[in-house]
């Protein structure tokens, strides 16, 4: 398996024209520890941003909450690095813009992606991909962001997962035919999501994000108390209405405090 940079560039050029995106250099690798780690070293080396890195395999892909992201041949392992100038409490906006940007663009290919709070990309109630955002700050501002995205393309996946090619084959759809095309779409989704967020602001982006969120209305248990998810704040907290006998209170929980689990 290899990555054809020419095919990628052709696919990206079409999307860049359609969505008025700036150009971005992509560095492809066969096998590295983590695309997020590699892109930080390219930033430290002084590469002008934005840049993107993909690898056909990763030996130590980074997932959420310190987990490892299994990165065998056949998946998309991508990082995009950008300069930004956002206040520290806007870090969730990067998650919203990225998840919405990718899901929204893939939906134009007739692939009904949704988002599971806070940053899982879902297809048919199964995890298609995940996002791992890392930032560097200076003077109380986020100055650099690295957006890492893993999407299951033709790699094998666990029970809770799904890969895109098997979905497309079942639906007899030929809307995406190569890893190069999927890479171009994902990079364009990230760039256009961020561009759109800068244009419309966090409240509008939150509304867009919530439209694709499957988690609202979900029943949860918090400290043995049943509750129902009612929304998400623009800081990325999950709003839950707790229902104890005779009373109901609304609380906000950060992603580290609760995990929503996957349907069995
Ligand atoms: C999650 O746990 O859901 C997020 C997974 C993000 C994995 C991607 S793969 C490409 C990029 N490089 C990494 O080391 N991690 C992210």
How many other CB atoms sit within 10 Å of the CB of residue 170?
Answer: 9
CA distance 183 to 162: 17
Q: Report the nearest atom of ligand 1 relative to the CA of 71.
A: 9
Residue keyed to tokens 């990628």? 8
Q: Which single residue is written with the structure tokens 């290919």?
A: 109
CA distance 92 to 36: 18
Q: What's the mean pLDDT in 249-261?
A: 84
Mean pLDDT of 111-117: 97
40 in ligand 1 pocket by Cβ < 6 Å?
no
**pLDDT tens-digit readout, 56-90:** 999 999 999 899 999 999 999 999 999 999 999 99
Q: Which residues of the chain form beta strands (DSSP E)?
A: 25-32, 51-58, 61-62, 68-69, 76-87, 114-116, 120-123, 126-138, 141-151, 219-222, 225-232, 238-244, 247-253
Kindly give the distance from the C-alpha atom of residue 149 to the centroid of ligand 1, in angstroms, as a whole number.
5
Residue entry with tokens 């991909």:
129
Q: What average pLDDT score do residues 94-122 get?
A: 97
Does ligand 1 lie within 6 Å of residue 69's CB atom? yes
In the chain, % of residues over pLDDT 70: 99
What is the greatest pairwise CA distance in the chain?
64
Q: What is the pLDDT of residue 96?
A: 97
- Ligand 1: atom nearest CA of 34 is 14
Would you say residue 98 has pLDDT above 70? yes
- Check pocket membership of 126 for ligand 1, CB cut-off 6 A: no
* Residues whose CB falls within 8 Å of the CB of residue 224, separated by 6 or more in sequence, listed in order: none
Question: Under a CB-based contact definition with an 8 Å cutoff, are residues 180 and 11 in contact?
Answer: yes
Measured from the CA of 35, which atom of ligand 1 is nearest?
A: 12
Rounded-to-integer distance, Cα 53 and Cα 148, Å: 9
pLDDT, one tens digit per residue, over 27-62 is 999 999 999 999 999 999 999 999 999 999 999 999
78 in ligand 1 pocket by Cβ < 6 Å? yes
pLDDT at 247: 74
Domains and CATH numbers, the chain: 5-211 (3.30.930.10), 219-253 (no CATH)
Q: What is the mean pLDDT of residues 159-178?
A: 96
Q: 132: Cβ below 6 Å to ligand 1?
A: yes
pTM: 0.96
């Amino acid at each position: 398996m290899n990555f054809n940079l020419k095919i990628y560039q052709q696919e990206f050029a079409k999307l860049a024209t359609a969505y008025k995106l700036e150009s971005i250099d992509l560095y492809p690798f066969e096998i590295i520890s983590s695309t997020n780690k590699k892109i930080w070293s390219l930033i430290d080396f002084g590469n002008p941003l934005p840049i993107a890195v993909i690898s056909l395999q990763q030996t130590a892909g980074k997932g959420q909450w310190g987990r490892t992201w299994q990165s065998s041949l056949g998946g998309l392992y991508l990082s995009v690095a950008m300069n930004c100038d956002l206040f520290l409490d806007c870090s969730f906006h990067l998650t919203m813009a990225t998840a919405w940007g990718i899901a929204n663009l893939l939906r134009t290919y007739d692939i009904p992606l949704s988002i599971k709070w806070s940053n899982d990309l879902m297809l048919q109630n199964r995890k298609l991909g995940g996002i791992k955002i890392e930032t560097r700050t200076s003077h109380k501002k986020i100055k650099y962001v690295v957006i890492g995205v893993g999407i299951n393309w033709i790699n094998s996946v666990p029970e809770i997962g799904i890969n895109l090619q098997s979905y497309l084959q079942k639906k007899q759809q030929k809307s995406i035919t190569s890893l190069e095309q999927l890479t171009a779409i994902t990079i364009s989704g990230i760039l256009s999501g961020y561009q759109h967020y800068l244009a419309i602001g966090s409240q509008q982006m939150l509304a867009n994000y919530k439209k694709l969120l499957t988690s609202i209305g979900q029943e949860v248990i918090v400290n043995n108390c049943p509750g129902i998810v009612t929304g998400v704040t623009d800081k990325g907290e999950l709003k839950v209405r707790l229902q104890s006998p005779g009373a109901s209170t609304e609380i906000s929980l950060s992603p580290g405090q609760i995990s929503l689990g996957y349907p069995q």
